[in-house]
Amino acid sequence: MHALEGLSIALIAPAPELAPRAGFDARTYALSPGNVEFLRALGVWQRLPAERLAAVHAMRIFGDDSRAALEFDAYQAGVPELAWIVEDSELQRALWSGLSGMANRCERLEIETGHAVLSFADAPPLAAKLIVGADGAHSFVRGAAGIAASERDYEQSAVVANFRCATPHGNVAYQWFQGGPVLALLPLPGEQVSMVWSLPAAEARRVVALTPDSLASEVAQAAQGMLGELTVTTPQRSFPLRRVSARNLVAPRVALVGDAAHVIHPLAGQGLNLGLQDARALAETITNREPGRDPGDHRLLRRYERQRAEPILAMDTVVSGLFSLYGARNPLLGRLRNAGLNLTDRLPVLKNILMRQAMS
């Protein structure tokens, strides 16, 4: 049964303008197995071209001391894979397949007795029992509902690009903490990798301006030659990084999901996973409501908020802590964090807890 069967749902969003398929998209996501199953249940995963997906069978994380390392292995954990690498453009194609959205600009949100009303610049108003704000970090719905949000500029940008690697990646995802910057190389099909390099804003501008050969050389050196010689296959792009945290996930007849509710640093690769987990939890809350219960009832929505509060806080705390810890230039802290990586790697129980959390 579809999670929201029996409800009438309107999608208010412009369809993305996606370029024709060519090389791999430089913007990618590492989807957890739990979210892959969610997308499969919705019929979305089956629409993704299998030849453009890459399973992650292992992860290797390095501290700013090359001798400090933490490894996760799917085989040792008894699971088929730790994650799946999916291109942003392909995921959007699959999500939008068979859907159509109202590309109208929202002007006002009003909460009335028994329903909410969205007013538009160029279309008649729309009344609904529940408004779900999935409209990104600069959410109109969040602001119109009066939900406050705290914001923090990380003073970094994420530089993304794809490379062909001379040494086979073996479906291993790599990450290097570099005393502030964080470099991740994620496996793609055909011995290619997708890079996410979080850098101070000025350094990111410099890296974006590099020639392909210079970029490949710098990334190969930063990756400690792990994947051999690299060849750029897509132009590099950058995105500014900010932290956003909504004070509440719900308001009368309003629920927030994804970036409208929380934006975290990409160093853990969990931003989209958190958002999909929000969608799963909200759909479950609405599906399991009592017969005849209004899906926009505030007490019902509070169940969703309580269910998501702890996982969101835990992930935000871990990511913020790692960002602060690995950004510190204190030599003593450097030794402690590298020792911590090595200690965690030697504690199978702790590693298993961390892995299971990331796979949900």
pLDDT tens digit sequence for 293-321: 999 999 999 999 999 999 999 888 878 77
Contact call for residues 245 and 150 (beta carbons, < 8 A): yes
Q: Is the pLDDT of residue 66 over 70?
A: no
The residue type of 112 is E
Distance of CA 230 to the CA centre of its chain: 26
Q: Mean pLDDT across the stretch 93-112?
A: 86
Buried/exposed code over 149-170 (b: 16+ C-beta within 10 A; e: otherwise): beeeebebbbbbbbbbbeeebe
Q: Distances from the Cα of 237 to the Cαs of 11, 77, 219, in angstroms?
A: 30, 35, 14
| Tokens read off for 228 | 């051999």
Weakest-pLDDT range from 167-181, 223-237, 267-281, 337-351: 337-351
Compute the 3-state secondary structure of the chain and give helix, strand, coil in percent, each to the nearest 5.
Answer: 35, 30, 35
Return all residues near 324 (Cβ < 8 A) that are at least 6 apart: none
Contact call for residues 232 and 212 (beta carbons, < 8 A): yes
* Residues of the domain holding 208: 25-101+132-360
| 268 part of a folded domain | yes
| 176 part of a folded domain | yes
Q: Mean pLDDT across the stretch 228-244?
A: 96
Return all residues near 341 (Cβ < 8 A) that are at least 6 apart: 61, 62, 63, 68, 69, 70
- What are the backbone angles phi and psi of residue 227, rounded to the nearest 5°? -115, 20
Most confident by average pLDDT, 17-26, 112-121, 199-208: 199-208
Up-side HSE of residue 335: CA atoms within 13 Å toward CB? Answer: 2
Q: Mean pLDDT across the stretch 37-64?
A: 93
In total, the chain counts a number of residues equal to 360
| 123 part of a folded domain | no
Task: Kindly report the number of other CB atoms within 10 A of residue 240's CB atom.
Answer: 12
Domain count, the chain: 1
Q: Distances from the Cα of 49 to the Cαs of 53, 135, 191, 217, in angstroms?
A: 7, 26, 17, 31
Contact call for residues 36 and 84 (beta carbons, < 8 A): yes
The residue behind tokens 């470099």 is 183
| 17 part of a folded domain | no
pLDDT band at 327 (very low <50, low <70, confident <90, very high): low
Q: Is the pLDDT of residue 286 over 60?
A: yes
| 320 part of a folded domain | yes
Q: What angle do CA 234, 238, 239 make, to 5 degrees?
A: 135
- pLDDT of amino acid 316: 86
Return all residues near 189 (Cβ < 8 A) that are at least 6 apart: 24, 51, 52, 53, 54
What is the domain-level CATH number for residue 311? Answer: 3.50.50.60
H-only helix segments in the chain: 33-41, 74-77, 88-96, 140-144, 201-208, 212-222, 271-287, 298-327, 331-345, 348-359
| 191 part of a folded domain | yes
Average pLDDT of the residues of the chain: 88
Start-to-end CA span in the chain (Å): 22
Return all residues near 107 (Cβ < 8 A) that are at least 6 apart: 119, 120, 121
Q: What is the DSSP letter of 348?
A: H
Task: Kindly report the number of other CB atoms within 10 A of residue 216's CB atom.
Answer: 20
pLDDT band at 347 (very low <50, low <70, confident <90, very high): very low
Write down the pTM of the prediction. 0.89
Q: Distances from the Cα of 344 to the Cαs of 65, 95, 282, in angstroms?
A: 15, 37, 34
| 170 part of a folded domain | yes
| 67 part of a folded domain | yes
Q: Which of 316, 306, 305 is nearest to 244 (CA)?
A: 316
